[in-house]
Structure 1
Amino acid sequence: MLFSATRTVLLLTAAFLTPVYSAPMDLASRGSKASSTSHSGDGTFYQPGLGACGTDNTSHDLIVAVSHTLFDSYPGANPSNPNKNPICGKKLRATYGAKSVIVAVKDRCIGCATGDLDFTSTGFGKLASLDKGRIHGVKWQWV
């Protein structure tokens, strides 16, 4: 009986002291917790057309291109067919100062750093004057 109790204590100790390693998980793939995670970067705008998600867009659409790093590493991304990337169509709320806009991811931005967003002129215009060209400190989160 004593052997059994000692063995149980050892097994429990081993279970709690054994490190568990797993690959980091992108918060965007974790449902409701993802919306509480805030990202930040620069905001710019571009003239869209046929985007990496396989849809044709115009400057009037409330869409955004995210950095190629984020686009390519998004959970479930398939490098051989970016049109099927699960990030496509995912919405985010971008905020700059007191203004915010909700946009859908429809493209991939080669010149963007990880937290940067490249808006259509309509989306950018909801945050700042187009005359600015680039705005620093845009905060955003998935919705």
Structure 2
Amino acid sequence: MAKAVVRAGLVAVGLAWALIAQVALAAEMKTYVVAGSQAATLDSCVEPTDIMRRKHMEFIQHQRDKTVHGGIRSSKHSLSGCVDCHVRDEPDGEAVPIHQKQEFCGACHAFTAVNLNCFDCHAAVPKGPGAALASKAAYQAVGLEQSPRAVSDGKEH
């Protein structure tokens, strides 16, 4: 009987710790926007936040299909639009690649344990000064010399 009471007490303490950790994590990831990015200065994304959290991949895939199959290039749900808005800059002006674990896409995908392979081919920083260096540094951070796409066709992208 005493063992059962101790076991129940340990289970209760474990559940309490799990609940506290979950609440703390939820509070920490409340905004899902990285300070220093353009998105941090805006009231909302291209869609309401709750919709973007649930359907961003559908928007990106739909935009991909319109662009690749129909040649229609708009920016409302484009991946480059996400990158332009959600990437933050270091104090020296260098863009921080969006898919690194502490950044916007990387942090959420790491939290949800979802593979983030968009940036195997797509730029993880906005185009502009320093973009090539930041992109190369991001690939090196994950153990690659250059993007897999560049390796496959022998061209630097």
Structure 1 and Structure 2 fold alike (TM over 0.5): no
Higher helix share: 2
Structure 1 length-normalised TM: 0.29
Q: Which has the higher contact order (CA 8 A, sep 6+)?
A: 1
Higher strand share: 1
Point out the structure with max Rg over C-alpha: 1
